[in-house]
Amino acid sequence: MQATKDTLSLIGNTPLVRLKGPSAESGCEIFAKCEFANPGASVKDRAALYIVEDAEERGQIAPGGTIVEGTAGNTGIGLALVANAKGYKTIIVMPETQSREKMDTLRALGAELVLVPAAPYSNPGHFVHTSRRIAEETPNAIWANQFDNIANRKAHIAGTAEEIWEQMEGRIDGFTCAAGTGGTIAGVGLGLKGKDEKITIALSDPHGAALYSYYACGELKSEGSSVAEGIGQGRITANLEGAPIDTQFRISDEEGMEWVRRLLAEEGLCLGLSSGINVAGAVALGKELGPGKRIATILCDTGFRYLSTLYNREWLETKGLSVPEWMAR
């Protein structure tokens, strides 16, 4: 492999891995994009780079400028490293409920971190609205606006979808993942449908999100809750508009955690809960499409970002999630 020309060229072109357990369980061939292999260790590096370069092309940001964003953490990490590589500053607004590791990583990258209480989207104190206000009040700043800035999904149309198509050698029957901003599902969905209309695009929605009911019956309605970070959307963001969703699954945290544990114990992958939910969704899609089908999904980030939560016995107990036998010892 040749040397890349700079750090930002390390974003994207992630490996695709065949998952043994999920393939055996579903009778299908299940493949997953290793987005933890991005320099910021998540799928959001892709959107961060696209959003910043789109703003540069539009002349919205100049050297020394500031990028402001509201994020569950991973987009902030992606933006901070893109900003460092390009000479910008970052101000990141994050709900205080996100993992300690994400906060430490953002501070280590030099971002200015603003923590706000978790609040519904309708509340003006919600992290998204707070970040917009800070961007308006800060000189030479842009608001990345990942939820409604479609540069986000363009990263997945041009990057993730193309890569999946090539890595699967054009033999793919279905794709599924969960939605935070919706950039990944909409972008990969649009990109793959552009290659072959027959590819089934499925949303894997956690509890507490409203998209499952929206795509099932046209009504934004949520039920229950989830501890998964970075996913679970209550509205149709600009990135989700026109997303070609054919079918949808509602996946519980326990189902997602079951796959997080199995992938760790059986395949040596240390992942976060959104990855577990995506894999549970891929198994469900495989069972729906039938034996032998080829399905792709996303491993969104690394489990090392959740050592104090998903991989911590006390935390699991406080959240009422089951503690694996090896952790209880």
Residues designated catalytic:
44
188 touching ligand PMP, by CB under 6 A: no
Give the shortest CB-116-to-ligand PMP separation in angstroms.
Answer: 16
Of 43 and 128, CB closest to ligand PMP: 43
Q: How far apart are the first and last CA of the chain?
A: 43
Given the DSSP bridges, would you call strands 112-116 and 89-95 parallel, antiparallel or unpaired?
parallel
How many degrees, rounded to 5, is the angle at CA 148 between CA 57 and CA 96?
110
Residue whose C-alpha is closest to residue 263's, from 93, 12, 24: 24
Q: How far apart are CA 180 and CA 121, in angstroms?
A: 13
Give the shortest CB-71-to-ligand PMP separation in angstroms.
Answer: 7
- Out of 99, 274, 297, 302, which residue is the one contacting ligand PMP (CB under 6 A)? 274
301 touching ligand PMP, by CB under 6 A: yes
300 touching ligand PMP, by CB under 6 A: yes
204 touching ligand PMP, by CB under 6 A: no
Of 55 and 185, CB closest to ligand PMP: 185
Q: Are 171 and 294 in contact (CB under 8 A)?
A: yes
Structure tokens at 137: 């009040």
- Out of 33, 44, 193, 207, which residue is the one contacting ligand PMP (CB under 6 A)? 44
Window 72 to 91, contacts with ligand PMP (CB under 6 A) = 72, 74
Q: How far apart are CA 192 and CA 153, in angstroms?
A: 13
245 touching ligand PMP, by CB under 6 A: no
286 touching ligand PMP, by CB under 6 A: no
Q: Are 165 and 157 in contact (CB under 8 A)?
A: no
Window 97 to 136, contacts with ligand PMP (CB under 6 A) = none
CB closest to ligand PMP, residue no: 230
- CA distances (Å), origin 88, targets 50, 82, 141, 142, 149: 15, 8, 9, 11, 19
- Out of 19, 111, 179, 271, which residue is the one contacting ligand PMP (CB under 6 A)? 179
46 touching ligand PMP, by CB under 6 A: no
Give the shortest CB-110-to-ligand PMP separation in angstroms.
Answer: 20
Stretch that binds ligand PMP, among 38-46, 79-87, 165-173, 193-201 (CB under 6 A): 38-46
Coarse DSSP helix, strand, coil percentages of the chain, rounded to the nearest 5 percent: 45, 15, 40
DSSP string covering 243-300: ----EEEEE-HHHHHHHHHHHHHHH---B-HHHHHHHHHHHHHHHHH-TT-EEEEEE-
Residue whose C-alpha is closest to residue 43's, from 54, 32, 53: 32
- Out of 11, 55, 192, 231, which residue is the one contacting ligand PMP (CB under 6 A)? 231
User: Which residues of the shown chain bind ligand PMP in the complex (CB under 6 A)?
Assistant: 42-44, 72, 74, 178-184, 229-231, 272, 274, 300-301
